[in-house]
Amino acid sequence: MVFTFTSSTGRNLLMGENQRENEVLLHHSLPTDVWFHVSSLPSAHIYVRSCADLSLGPDSNWGIDDDTVAECCKIVKGNSIKGCKMKAVKVVASRWSNLVSPQGSEDGVVAFADEGECRYWDGVEKDNGLCRRVEKSWEREDVGKWEGERRAYLEEERRRVKKERKEGERKKKQEEEEERKRKEEMSYDRVFEKIDLNDGGEGAEDLFGDDGGDWGEGEDGEEGEEGEGGGGRYADECDFF
């Protein structure tokens, strides 16, 4: 069985009843869970359930409020056989995803993938009143519930990742198409395709400045008279030689 209770600010907390259940929780918690334990001493394992802001680091307590942090620290001290007899202890916390179970170790023993992802609090003293209040609010729930929650979480994560991947592929394809069109519009081939070299529309002029009329006609439309050179009016006006 697993103990479930809430902090004074409404955070859901989980705690294993014994080492075997601590091991089960270790394997069925969520990446958004944060784990608390007395450093270097046997103690209860407490998980703050599904609340961590994964974009924040240990210096920000992963987004967990200070009251919940203080309560978790005092509860693990009060549930440590050795720690409860000491004036003060050091408490460590880590995201669940940073916890590892050493090969061949006993149930409930954990290590850290990265020590830099842990947060420590020195001088945590006992608070018997808090521990008694928490014990009165404990509810026992079967481990199978948390196994089911983990399966549901992982399935939701798979759907989210798949959706994000498809959206990324769509955006990439759209960007590639926009880039292709941009290059196409800037290419010389497309520039020349837009120019009609045979355009005879209004304003088109002969290479020599003529307006496109009949070279052999006069002002009245009649054929020009030949001069001594045998050419018409046009030839008289455009004597090239």
Domain count, the chain: 2
Are 137 and 70 within one domain? yes
Residue 6 lies in a domain: yes
The secondary structure of the chain, three-state, reads CEEEEECCCCCEEEEECCHHHHHHHHHHCCCCCEEEEECCCCCCCEEECCCCCCCCCHHHHHHCCHHHHHHHHHHHHHCCCCHHHCCEEEEEEEEHHHEECCCCCCCCCCEECCHHHEEEEEEEECCHHHHHHHHHHCEEECHHHHHHHHHHHHHHHHHHHHHHHHHHHHHHHHHHHHHHHHHHHHCHHHHHHCCCCCCCCCCCCCCCCCCCCCCCECCCCCECCCCCCCCCHHHHHCCCC
pTM: 0.67
Averaged pLDDT for residues 48-74: 85
* pLDDT value at residue 209: 52
Which of 99, 122, 141 is at the close of a domain?
141
| pLDDT (tens digit per residue) in 189-234 | 655 555 555 555 554 445 445 554 554 555 554 444 444 444 444 4
| pLDDT (tens digit per residue) in 164-182 | 999 999 999 999 988 888 8
Q: Which residues pair with 217 in a beta bridge?
A: 223
Are 146 and 161 within one domain? yes
Q: Which structural domain range is residue 169 located in?
A: 142-192
Give the residue with greater pLDDT, 68 vs 211: 68
Dihedral sign of CA atoms 174, 177, 181, 182 in order: positive
Task: State the maximum Cα–Cα separation within the chain, in Å, rounded to a whole number.
Answer: 135
Are 18 and 128 within one domain? yes
* pLDDT value at residue 104: 82
* pLDDT value at residue 27: 85
